Amino acid sequence: MTAFPAPAMAPNAHDQWYSDTDSAGRLLTHCVRTFLGVAVAMTMIAMPVVAHTVHQLLGISLAAFLAAIVAIRMPHISVIAIITAFLFQNFFVSIMADFVRSDDDFDMIRAYNFLILAVTWVTFAVRYLLQWRSHGPLIMPYIKLSTGLMVAIGTYFLIGFALNGIQAIIYLRNIVTPLLLFQICLTLFAAYPVRLGPMLTVLSVLTVLCGFTESAARETWLALTNGYAYWELASGANWQTLSYDQMAAETGIVATGLIDSFQISFFNSPLFSQLASTVTRLFGPNMHSISFAYALSFFFIFAVFRGRWLQAFFLFILLFLCSAKGPLIMTALVVLTWVAFRLFGSGFAFLCIAAALSLYVVIGVIIGLQIGDYHVLGLMAAIFEFFRNPIGHGIGSGGNLSPLFNTIVWTEAQAAGRTPFPVESSVGVLMYQLGIFAFAVIGGYIWIAWRVLRVAHLTGNALQAAIAFAVMGVVANGVFQEEAFFAPLALSLFLGVGGMILGASVRSGVEQRLAS
């Protein structure tokens, strides 16, 4: 007995469009199922957003109902729906922005992607518990680890909620999202040979189309997506916030309109200022530049290590145009370490990427302190506070989402060598919130990467090895970026695919071979 009903798809465990022996009819069937799957996912995301503009309760109820029904009847589509929600939900929110009634309403409508994730996880968890006897023991280390981490996070959430209120809820969502998606993918792929490659390819192509449209015709993109209304809700009107004046004071870039406010120094660093004065960032359909860059990195890795070279080429161009150095560095290290994996094996490759990432972090910290980089200043605050209170302050304390973030005077922070509290570093924020238990969470991510690499060593699968290296790369980027852990399109995507790989290894017997 399996944990899930067999979804309506070909029972071929290999992730490919079709084999040489497929008939035209079977190929057509594959294509129809692929596009229908993506259409179902898009509908799941769009309908609650539209319903929310009628009444908030209607939107919430519809999002929860659709997530539960799809998780029960089409569990493989649930994973695609979650990824689609992370990537395209704000696209639909932007289109409907004229009907959003308040800032609280705007925050609620953007939280539907987490509601879909949470309801899907609850549905999968209930089914897993009801049928736990049908699961072998090989999946249990992964379930125990991820559940144990979530229990620790939940404990710190209770402390943080008592101290920080709604801020703790927001950070709880950010911290547990990777673990929830990991467990969903793990249990699904342990139960059935699911094929998500074609649907992920369709999402990748849609992402490329959105990215190049935004890059080539920004005004057209803003008009098509109702972007001016969205960004006014997201950032506030300039006459209220005076954000353009603050931008000019901090960066020297004078903004005369919304598009000007998207300008940053090349790769957002003074180190590259001589290469280009300013660039206009891409934000993608998810309306967040760094998160969009991680999505492009994910799709690039997924394409290049499956031999989709043209697709990978366009994705890399967009990744470069995002001007986000963290995802680009991570992608480059993944490719280089994969070469070491092919030449010298998994053990040597693991040591190589661990050494390369350690050097990357050390050099980044040294240079960041020299130039007063705000990411490093936030990390220094975390180290300082950790020795003052290694137990932690509870979830919701500090971070970029703190109501005190806008009170930071960066010139004073540069003079002091640290910010008043940890910001701009997901590792630093975790240390501040969870104390010493932050290292258990980070160690859990690295252990998962190592387990995925062990599977890749046995199977020789290039994509599996690349995902293991990517998880480690995102962990290293977490030293410098809060988005690395907390943006839903960063660590969550790579850890989710890690769950797919480990779940499939349990089902196919690879895990048994590793254990013997």
Q: Within 405-509, where are the H helices?
A: 410-416, 426-434, 438-459, 462-477, 483-486, 491-508
How far is residue 387's CA from residue 192's CA, in Å, rounded to a whole number? 47
72 exposure class (CB count in 10 Å sphere: 0-12, 13-18, 19+): middle
DSSP β-bridge partners for residue 280: 263
Given a contact cutoff of 8 angstroms between Cβ atoms, the answer to whether 84 and 137 are in contact is no
Roughly what angle, to the nearest 10 degrees, separates helices 56-73 and 112-130? 40
- What 3-state class would DSSP assign to 502? helix
Q: How far is CA 345 from CA 337, 338, 366, 500, in A?
A: 10, 9, 32, 22
Predicted local distance difference test score (pLDDT) of residue 256: 57
What does the domain layout of the chain look like in residue ranges?
24-134, 140-194+325-516, 198-323
Predicted local distance difference test score (pLDDT) of residue 20: 43
Roughly what angle, to the nearest 10 degrees, separates helices 325-344 and 462-477? 140
What is the four-CA torsion angle of 386, 387, 391, 392, rounded to 10 degrees? -30
DSSP β-bridge partners for residue 264: 279
pLDDT in tens, the chain (516 residues): 334 433 333 333 334 433 444 577 777 887 888 999 999 999 999 999 999 999 999 999 999 999 999 999 999 999 999 999 999 999 999 999 999 988 889 999 999 999 999 999 999 999 999 887 777 789 999 999 999 999 999 999 999 999 998 999 999 999 999 999 999 999 999 988 888 999 999 999 999 999 999 999 999 999 999 999 999 998 754 434 445 445 444 555 545 568 777 777 665 665 555 555 677 889 999 999 999 999 999 999 999 988 899 999 999 999 998 888 889 999 999 989 988 888 888 888 889 999 999 999 999 999 999 988 889 999 999 999 999 999 999 999 999 988 888 888 888 889 889 999 999 999 999 999 999 999 999 999 999 999 999 999 999 898 999 999 999 999 999 999 999 999 999 999 999 999 999 999 999 888 888 877
Given a contact cutoff of 8 angstroms between Cβ atoms, the answer to whether 278 and 263 are in contact is yes
How far is residue 296's CA from residue 298's CA, in Å, rounded to a whole number? 5
Predicted local distance difference test score (pLDDT) of residue 241: 44
How far is residue 246's CA from residue 294's CA, in Å, rounded to a whole number? 27
How far is residue 313's CA from residue 141's CA, in Å, rounded to a whole number? 38
Predicted local distance difference test score (pLDDT) of residue 240: 41
pLDDT digits (tens, 9 = 90+) for 258-281: 877 777 766 566 555 555 567 788
Predicted local distance difference test score (pLDDT) of residue 306: 87
| pTM (whole model) above 0.85 | yes
Given a contact cutoff of 8 angstroms between Cβ atoms, the answer to whether 477 and 326 are in contact is yes
Predicted local distance difference test score (pLDDT) of residue 514: 83
Q: Any residues with CB less than 8 A from the CB of 513 and at least 6 apart, and which?
A: 458
Q: Any residues with CB less than 8 A from the CB of 51 and at least 6 apart, and which?
A: 58, 59, 62
**Average pLDDT across the chain, whole number:** 87
Query: Terminal CA-to-CA distance of the chain, rounded, Å?
Result: 24
How far is residue 128's CA from residue 183's CA, in Å, rounded to a whole number? 10
Q: How far is CA 344 from CA 14, 18, 460, 462, 510, in A?
A: 26, 32, 12, 14, 21
How far is residue 437's CA from residue 434's CA, in Å, rounded to a whole number? 5
Q: Would you tell me how many other CB atoms lie within 10 Å of the CB of residue 256?
A: 8
Q: Would you tell me how many other CB atoms lie within 10 Å of the CB of residue 462?
A: 17
279: which DSSP letter?
E
Q: Which of 190, 136, 186, 154 is nearest to 497 (CA)?
A: 186
Q: Which of 487, 485, 415, 481 is nearest to 267 (CA)?
A: 481
Enumerate long-range contacts of 68-71, CB under 8 Å, 24 or more apart. 68/119, 68/120, 68/123, 70/40, 70/44, 70/120, 71/119, 71/120, 71/123, 71/124
- What 3-state class would DSSP assign to 284? coil
